[in-house]
Amino acid sequence: MKQNSQLRVELARKLFDYIPHSGGQMEWMLDENKRKCLATGRQFGKSQSAGIDLATYALLKPGSRQCIVAPKYDQGLIIFDYVLRTIKSCKVPLGVKMTVSRTAPAEMWFGPKGTSSQITTMSADQVGDGAKQRGWQFDRIIVDEAAFCVGPIIHKVFVPMLARVDGVLMLQSTPNGENWFWGECQKTWKESGITHHHSSYDNPYLPRSFLDEQKRLLGETSLAWRQEYMAEFVASASAYFHIPHVERAMEHGRVLPQVVQSGHKYVAGVDFAEISDWTVVCVVDVTKSVWEVVALDRFHRVQDQKWDWTEQIKRVASCLEYWNAEALVDSTQMGSPLRDMLSKLWPKTYGFNMAHYRQGHILCEGLQLKFDRNELLLPSEGCEEGRLMLDEFRSFQVKQSVQGYAPHLGAAKGHHDDIVFALGLACKMGEGSADVYNQDEKTYTLSDSVALMRSRQYNLDENSQETPFFIGKNW
Ligand SMILES: Nc1ncnc2c1ncn2[C@@H]1O[C@H](COP(=O)(O)OP(=O)(O)OP(=O)(O)O)[C@@H](O)[C@H]1O
Ligand SMILES: [Mg+2]
């Protein structure tokens, strides 16, 4: 007996003159596994083949329910429109009166609404309606450009929609680094023994001249060429943290801030802002063997005040007091007098000097190890704190310097790293290895610090380029 996928491929040829190409498309369309992933270069034919596959499934299985998911709603409409075009291109009268609604979530019915086959389009947009969708049930879900969707949204919001009929989940995308989609590909390819992984050259309908021109323009070794057309999962060479493990630490769905629990032990890390960055207090619950970030206070200026250290320190102290947390404070250069001021309001503080590369490295190594061992939970991507953290971890780099200087650890251009360092300090505090504490050089006074910043030609009042922004709360 023929498999359903074979019938669909035959129907596609007979009704729509469509034959999946032999560069991996046929193999993909015939794969009957309930979880399958396709990673390809641009213009491989992912969206069009998805449109054909959805249309033939809807025709062969009356009353079926299918859903197209994409990072943004408009992207989902591309496949939705491929389905409509496919139906219109039919060589023989199909005898079905399509009902189509393009208002979100777009729907098409292959006959009377409610009883006939249905195809719906939703976004996996975490701030839009996508992440709020609940209560739907589908036989099949296809996620286009899956690598650009937030993994936990697919798993927590969309996968449960397949539960009733133990339905099919198809993820397809151009790669986007070694993120959750990469993890899903590795898993499903191993389980099924079929590696749906193809470069754009595998689409025989795509002119070679176009690809060769792109290669020349982008450069054969460029990230853009390797990722977009060769479909390589490029782990950034300079990336410090292994992002799949950071993402794993966010998969529990908890958001911030949490509340103090009696009998729990909390520690904190404090990284004071210089000019263009943020003051961050990160509080970690270290009661159990798996530690958990429970609060993150991140602010640039305190309300409308200008560069007023006193107000900042008060805010930090009240947070530490609320959590009754011992804190390790970055006391490098200007951090040293700030730590002194802080310790007058909240004495349980220790200084950590990061003037040397090795010291920063100790913090980051400790964090990396915690992620690798799955011993640290971060707020989920469902809240602002989680999203900020993920961005910092993704853009955190080790940059090799020339002329034998120590490498530089920190954020890529345009990103911040204050949360990473504050969390690293908190974890170091949690380890309680007192040998590294209170090692401030104490060579700076507050006025030294201000002078130091001036000497770097910072204009203190230019802080206003970033509007005051808070996450966390007044404790
Ligand atoms: N089996 C096929 N028969 C005819 N043309 C095909 C076939 N497969 C792909 N193509 C053509 O390849 C081109 C790319 O298809 P499509 O837009 O589906 O690719 P994609 O992988 O979704 O691209 P992108 O990554 O840019 O979203 C289209 O012009 C499409 O018509
Ligand atoms: Mg596409």
Residues with CB under 5 A from ligand 2 (ion): 46-47
Whole-model pTM: value is: 0.62
Identity of the residue numbered 431: E
CA of 392 to the centre of ligand 1 (A): 35
CA of 43 to the centre of ligand 2 (A): 7
CA of 174 to the centre of ligand 1 (A): 13
CA of 42 to the centre of ligand 2 (A): 7
Distance CA 255, CA 276 (A): 27
Q: Using H for helix, E for strand and C for coil, what is the string for the chain?
A: CCCHHHHHHHHHHHHHCCCCCCCCHHHHHHCCCCEEEEEECCCCCHHHHHHHHHHHHHHHCCCCEEEEEECCHHHHHHHHHHHHHHHHCCCCCCCCCCEEECCCCCEEECCCCCCCCEEEEEECCCCCCHHHCCCCCCCEEEEECHHHCCHHHHHHHHHHHHCCCCCEEEEEECCCCCCHHHHHHHHHHHHHCCCCEECHHHCCCCCHHHHHHHHHHHCCCCHHHHHHHCCCCCCCCCECCCHHHHHHCCCCCCCCCCCCCCCCCEEEEEECCCCCCCEEEEEEECCCCCEEEEEEEEECCCCCCCCCHHHHHHHHHHHHHHHCCEEEEECCCCHHHHHHHHHHHCCCEEEECCCCHHHHHHHHHHHHHHHHCCCEECCCCCCHHHHHHHHHHHHEEEECCCCCCCCEEEECCCCCCHHHHHHHHHHHHHHCCHHHCCCCCCCCCHHHHHHHHHHCCCCHHHHHHCCCCEECCCC
Identity of the residue numbered 297: D
In this structure, the residue with its CA closest to atom 30 of ligand 1 is 45
- Which atom of ligand 1 is found nearest the CA of 49? 18
Distance CA 253, CA 7 (A): 41
- β partners of residue 470: 299
Spatial CA neighbour of 270 closest among 303, 309, 297, 240: 297
Angle at 391 between CA 389 and CA 396, to 5 degrees: 95
pLDDT, tens digit (0-9, with 9 covering 90-100), for 172-208: 999 988 888 999 999 999 999 999 999 999 999 999 9
> Residue 126's pLDDT is what?
62
CA of 80 to the centre of ligand 1 (A): 14
- φ and ψ at residue 381, rounded to 5 degrees: -70, -10
Spatial CA neighbour of 46 closest among 207, 210, 235, 205: 205
Question: Which CATH architecture does the domain made up of 243-471 adopt?
Answer: 2-Layer Sandwich (3.30)
CA of 49 to the centre of ligand 2 (A): 9
Probe ligand 1: pick from 27, 52, 205, max atoms within 8 Å of CB?
205
Ligand nearest to the CA of 144: 2
- Which atom of ligand 1 is found nearest the CA of 21? 1
Spatial CA neighbour of 301 closest among 283, 313, 292, 291: 313
Ligand nearest to the CA of 50: 1
Question: Which CATH architecture does the domain made up of 4-229 adopt?
Answer: 3-Layer(aba) Sandwich (3.40)
- Which atom of ligand 1 is found nearest the CA of 40? 21
CA of 231 to the centre of ligand 1 (A): 15
State whether the beta carbon of 173 lies less than 6 angstroms from ligand 1: no
In this structure, the residue with its CA closest to atom 23 of ligand 1 is 43
State whether the beta carbon of 42 lies less than 6 angstroms from ligand 1: yes
Regions of the chain with pLDDT less than 50: 303-304, 434-436, 438, 440-446, 448-470, 472, 474
In this structure, the residue with its CA closest to atom 25 of ligand 1 is 42
Q: Where are the domains of the chain?
A: 4-229, 243-471
State whether the beta carbon of 203 lies less than 6 angstroms from ligand 1: yes
State whether the beta carbon of 44 lies less than 6 angstroms from ligand 1: yes
CA of 227 to the centre of ligand 1 (A): 17
In this structure, the residue with its CA closest to atom 12 of ligand 1 is 45
Distance CA 293, CA 312 (A): 21
In this structure, the residue with its CA closest to atom 11 of ligand 1 is 45
> Residue 447's pLDDT is what?
53
361's CB contacts (< 8 A; 6+ apart) are: 409
- Quick check: bond before 257 cis, omega within 30? yes
> Residue 302's pLDDT is what?
52
Give the number of residues written for the chain.
Answer: 475
> Residue 300's pLDDT is what?
76
State whether the beta carbon of 48 lies less than 6 angstroms from ligand 1: yes
CA of 426 to the centre of ligand 1 (A): 50
- Quick check: bond before 20 cis, omega within 30? no
CA of 46 to the centre of ligand 2 (A): 5
State whether the beta carbon of 46 lies less than 6 angstroms from ligand 1: yes
Angle at 439 between CA 436 and CA 445, to 5 degrees: 150
> Residue 128's pLDDT is what?
60
